């Protein structure tokens, strides 16, 4: 009650707790660039395109050095909505999903809150983020399926209604069974990325769409491989990259994606585009997200 989420009181308390363990990491957050960004956005009004609420964002003073090393934009995982917690990445994915749904149903949807049973009546969507503000808003609707990864539980079992334990490398869903698949900063954590993308192509219907975000460096022709997975054991090629994870607290990243992603998906019958989204009303600044459309049968 005294330290609610998305408040500077809670952030300061968290920093004090970490300072004793890792003062350097805290110092990396209290740098001049972060203070400049805080002053820039502390009074900036916007309307969240997830929950539809208006307010000012919460800026959490990210570790800029770590963000650069992991090829993650400095604003991408922050500027949270104080009502639902949606980061700029979540709002970018929401903008892509709203665009696709609006086009398909023939009416403009301005926020995820406006997506109702009528909007999803004819669709099946698989969202691989069981904890995102988007999935929390839509999980009660028929046709919206949630996937999460619990390696200690049997895969393909239903954890709760329409929420499945999913191994993206080998899914139990029928072929051509989904109109839309969402993954948001998930695929860098999948050991066998080719198997996962084959599975996503397989479960998509013709003209189905795969909306996703990943750490991406357009200057790279191929992917930057962080872990050699050619054998049974992981071989670290660089110091391990761990990203935050609601289930485990930290999850290993295997790669940073480069331009190769377009060719990889094309071989699976997926025509892929990278969108750069700027929406001042929803406070999205250079939001990057991919959309891949299944235009041909995939090799199963």
270 pairs with which residues across the strands?
294
The set of residues, in sequence order, having a beta carbon less than 8 Å from that of 62 and lying 6+ positions away, is: 29, 34, 74, 77, 78
pTM for the whole structure: 0.91
CB 165 within 8 A of CB 154: yes
Helix (H) or strand (E) holding 95: helix 88-105
pLDDT for 259 equals: 97
Name beta bridge partners: 225: 255
Q: By three-state DSSP, how is residue 284 classified?
A: strand
Mean pLDDT of 49-67: 93
Question: pLDDT per residue over 38-52, tens digit each?
Answer: 999 999 999 999 999
Q: Are 186 and 128 in contact (CB under 8 A)?
A: yes
Say if residue 157's pLDDT is above 80.
Answer: yes
pLDDT confidence band for 183 (50 / 70 / 90): very high
The pair of three-digit structure tokens given for residue 129, joined into one six-digit string: 């983020």
For residue 89, how many other CB atoms are within 10 A of its CB? 23
Q: Quick one: what percent of the chain has pLDDT higher than 90? A: 74
What separation in angstroms does the CA of 53 have from each of 146, 169, 228? Answer: 24, 37, 44
- Answer with the residue of higher pLDDT: 89 or 66: 89
Residue 81 confidence (pLDDT) above 80: yes
What integer pLDDT is reported at residue 107 of this predicted model? 93
Interval 226-246: pLDDT, tens: 999 999 999 999 988 888 765
The H or E element spanning position 226 is: none
pLDDT, residue 298, reads 55
Cβ atoms of residues 36 and 64 within 8 Å: no
Q: Give the mean model confidence (pLDDT) for residues 11-36.
A: 77
| Cα–Cα dist 208/230, whole Å | 31
User: What's the mean pLDDT when you consider all of the chain?
Assistant: 91
Q: Is residue 297 scored above 70 in pLDDT?
A: no
Structure confidence at residue 37 as a pLDDT band (50, 70, 90): very high
Mean pLDDT of all residues in 292-297: 86
- Whether CATH 1.10.10 fits 94-294: no
Closest C-alpha to 268, from 233, 234, 292: 292
Range 162-170 average pLDDT: 94
What average pLDDT does range 156-181 have in this prediction?
94
């Amino acid at each position: 009650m005294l330290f609610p989420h998305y408040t500077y009181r809670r952030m300061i308390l968290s920093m004090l707790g970490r300072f004793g363990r890792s003062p350097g990491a805290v110092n990396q957050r209290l740098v001049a660039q972060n203070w400049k960004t805080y002053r820039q956005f502390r009074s900036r009004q916007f309307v969240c395109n997830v929950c539809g609420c208006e307010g000012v964002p919460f800026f959490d003073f990210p570790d800029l050095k770590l963000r650069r090393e992991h090829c993650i934009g400095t604003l991408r995982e922050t500027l949270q909505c104080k009502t639902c917690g949606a980061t700029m990445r979540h709002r970018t994915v929401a903008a892509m999903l709203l665009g696709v749904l609006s086009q398909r149903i023939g009416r403009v949807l301005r926020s995820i809150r406006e997506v109702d049973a009528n909007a999803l009546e004819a669709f099946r969507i698989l969202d691989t983020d069981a904890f995102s503000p988007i999935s929390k808003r839509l999980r009660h609707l028929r046709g919206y399926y949630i996937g999460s990864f619990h390696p200690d539980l049997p895969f393909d079992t239903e954890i709760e209604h329409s929420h499945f334990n999913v191994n993206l490398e080998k899914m139990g869903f029928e072929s051509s069974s989904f109109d839309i698949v969402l993954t948001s900063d998930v695929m860098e954590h999948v050991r066998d990325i080719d198997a996962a993308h084959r599975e996503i192509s397989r479960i998509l219907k013709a003209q189905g769409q795969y909306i996703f975000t990943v750490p991406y460096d357009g200057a790279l022709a191929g992917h930057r491989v962080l872990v050699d997975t050619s054998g049974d054991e992981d071989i670290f090629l660089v110091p391990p990259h761990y990203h935050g994870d609601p289930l485990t607290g930290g999850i290993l990243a295997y790669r940073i994606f480069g331009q190769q992603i377009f060719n990889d998906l094309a071989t699976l019958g997926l025509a892929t585009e990278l969108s750069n989204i700027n929406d001042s009303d929803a406070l999205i600044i250079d939001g990057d997200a991919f959309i891949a459309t299944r235009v041909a049968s995939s090799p199963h």
